Structure 1
């Protein structure tokens, strides 16, 4: 039985009838460009081959019933009118309903079953996968006519205003706008995006994800604190956002800001530059030449933005010492995952080395797996 057939069957068993369709939306790896999105900067994520799949059927009575294949996600029943007050795992789905309502889309009610293979708390955007699959399904079934770019904002507003996580548009953009074999180069100010070739197999490369099993959540205080620090820096420098700060402006910024705030600003400025450099190198020389940029990005996140963790640093250093071309933490930080750019024949060795060093350090066993750039959200049946 295929995964889609399994989700359809679970829907029928849960709700007593067949769904109207199934939709998938992927998680993502952010190749480079961390915390630059809410600073109106540049990011370069790609969709991965792990997805949330939702089966959905409309109702006419204003009620919503949600169920999940995940045993920790208990079934939820409520009313469409109360979507903005959702809590727990249902907030990601009902937050989308609320955001659609704010755009004048009438949602009559629905039953939904979800099954996701995107690890939660791993920094791979399991939440945006849920939001994007739900938004795509409702947009199609309700004939709302919203573009994918508008659905990105629907997901962001759900995350910001219902879930309570002050995120930018990176995650939903990767989930909704990606193309197989490409990364998404996104300007978070103009919201313009374009695909950038990321042909890892053609270069004999893979990207290893190391899920450290140290869970993080964007709604926790560390993420919000970093965003507030960036906003204070921009206000003190008299600019709209740190996107407007150039490397040549850093000496002036250092004179005007306290040292911690300056380090936060310096990370954003240099990370934006690294995104642009990565795009240029991918287009001119291919993915085999971006390893050093990934390494510099991790140092900046570790030392200037201070969002890494001992487990992430250990994973990155071990990968680098065992043949990775480059490695960095990915995602919002404070736990989650690291990525390593590895030659295909070295993938097993690098993964085994990371697992061994975690075991020696007495840490929980990490989940190490390969990812390739996959397609964005789509209807399956």
Structure 2
């Protein structure tokens, strides 16, 4: 916490520029200063003048490998990115949390009511309530706060704007009421719990973990509640490649059942063995029982299970390739993961959709524009939204132009990998 007057002077005078440079990729320092000054102004417009405030940031994330493996206690490779949700926050001692996110109505959560509320399912207030409830259960004296937030994480883009918001709320509570004693792994787990139990979405832990921990991270979820995490130092830009996220323009609305069907069908596969997740079933045992699996769960469920087994191995190999600096091997594996998502996991186009197959079309166009170089793959949950492409720097202009000629101006976004996860700046 610092005096708001001093915060403004420090931001305007470039005092935070080193932090902004690390967190915001190639974004000009002047733009970063303006954004952080605007969040302070937004706070005071919403909640009135304050003597002191704290500043927080939580990044979006990009999944690099391991598509839909996390909820099977599998392996993933992910990275935090330079797009983030930022906040100015002030304790209010009222027993209430009030968060005004730019462009949305204010969320108000009464801390005396910590149980999930059915009417909040699918709303950001459910996430706030669930995260605050966990901090209270851990014994931290959460007495309420006001916060104003703004985000440049592309909503519905597969960059996990919801996970970034969860990590932001956890980081605020950690900074204001827990003396930053709660580690990034636990903050991620708290966010997942809130999304599963309070918000009502059966997500895995990858998104929250990548946002909270930061950088490129290899995560193994074999040990429930205690994932193994390895940070991988690797500079993609120094190898002459640019990471792009392509927004296909597909609509995420009414796709909840498509996402839930993946976990539901994999649960049917696991039920054939009396297990909960695929990680508990040796691959050889699965294939030995494949006829019975097909009969009980169906062919799509079997194919989705095969994808999970194979993508877990690919994550190991992709991680090893990055450790060794072998980018060509890494890109080959990334492309294989994308093909597996399309043909086995089948999360590129919604079931039965024939007219609208935006992600599939974007993948086909990206492969053509890459001309046999780089790689592209479906990004995140799939079915709608975005894909990921690794583009040689010398082809970047032509690649962006080719994508935007079909999917519209601003549909191809250039990403930077951020070295830090959720943080308190002041």
- Same fold by TM (over 0.5)? yes
How big is the shift at 1:12? 1.1
Q: Does 1:234 align with 2:270?
A: yes
In 2 relative to 1, CA 226–175 (structure 1 residues): closer, same or farther, beyond 3 Å?
same
Task: Tell me, yes or no, if the aligned pair for 1:99 and 1:155 is still in contact at 8 Å.
Answer: no
Q: In structure 2, what is the equivalent of residue 362 of structure 1?
A: none
Taking the aligned partners of 2:256 and 2:134, their CA distance within structure 1 comes to 22
Taking the aligned partners of 1:320 and 1:253, their CA distance within structure 2 comes to 36
How big is the shift at 1:151? 1.0
After TM superposition, the structure 1 = structure 2 runs for residues 184-333 of structure 1, keeping only pairs within 5 Å, are 184-190=217-223, 191-216=227-252, 220-258=256-294, 259-309=299-349, 310-323=357-370, 324-333=373-382
TM-score, length-scaled by structure 2? 0.82
**1:34 aligns to what SS in structure 2?**
coil
Gap regions ≥5 residues in structure 1: 360-364
Per-residue CA distance 1:14-53 (angstroms, 9 max, x = gap): 1113352010000000011111001000000100000001
The range that moved more, 228-237 or 210-219, is: 210-219
**1:290 aligns to what SS in structure 2?**
helix
**1:318 aligns to what SS in structure 2?**
helix
Q: In structure 2, what is the equivalent of residue 3 of structure 1?
A: 35
Taking the aligned partners of 1:293 and 1:264, their CA distance within structure 2 comes to 18
**1:25 aligns to what SS in structure 2?**
strand
In 2 relative to 1, CA 254–218 (structure 1 residues): closer, same or farther, beyond 3 Å?
farther
How big is the shift at 1:245? 4.2
How many equivalent residue pairs? Answer: 371
Per-residue CA distance 1:260-311 (angstroms, 9 max, x = gap): 2211111111111111111111122433432222222122212212111221
**2:345 aligns to what SS in structure 1?**
coil
In 2 relative to 1, CA 253–301 (structure 1 residues): closer, same or farther, beyond 3 Å?
farther
RMSD: 2.0
- Specify the structure having the higher radius of gyration (Cα): 2
Q: Does 1:368 align with 2:399?
A: no
How big is the shift at 1:173? 0.7
Task: Tell me, yes or no, if the aligned pair for 1:4 and 1:380 is still in contact at 8 Å.
Answer: no
Per-residue CA distance 1:116-158 (angstroms, 9 max, x = gap): 1111111110011111111111112112622221111111111
**2:147 aligns to what SS in structure 1?**
strand
Taking the aligned partners of 1:334 and 1:289, their CA distance within structure 2 comes to 27
In 2 relative to 1, CA 288–370 (structure 1 residues): closer, same or farther, beyond 3 Å?
farther
After TM superposition, the structure 1 = structure 2 runs for residues 119-130 of structure 1, keeping only pairs within 5 Å, are 119-130=154-165
Gap regions ≥5 residues in structure 2: 1-32, 350-356
Taking the aligned partners of 2:301 and 2:385, their CA distance within structure 1 comes to 24
After TM superposition, the structure 1 = structure 2 runs for residues 1-381 of structure 1, keeping only pairs within 5 Å, are 1-18=33-50, 20-69=53-102, 71=103, 73-82=104-113, 84-85=116-117, 86-87=120-121, 88-143=123-178, 145-179=181-215, 183-190=216-223, 191-216=227-252, 220-258=256-294, 259-309=299-349, 310-323=357-370, 324-358=373-407, 367-374=411-418, 375-381=420-426
Taking the aligned partners of 1:162 and 1:215, their CA distance within structure 2 comes to 24
TM-score, length-scaled by structure 1? 0.91
Taking the aligned partners of 2:242 and 2:108, their CA distance within structure 1 comes to 42
Task: Tell me, yes or no, if the aligned pair for 1:163 and 1:219 is still in contact at 8 Å.
Answer: no
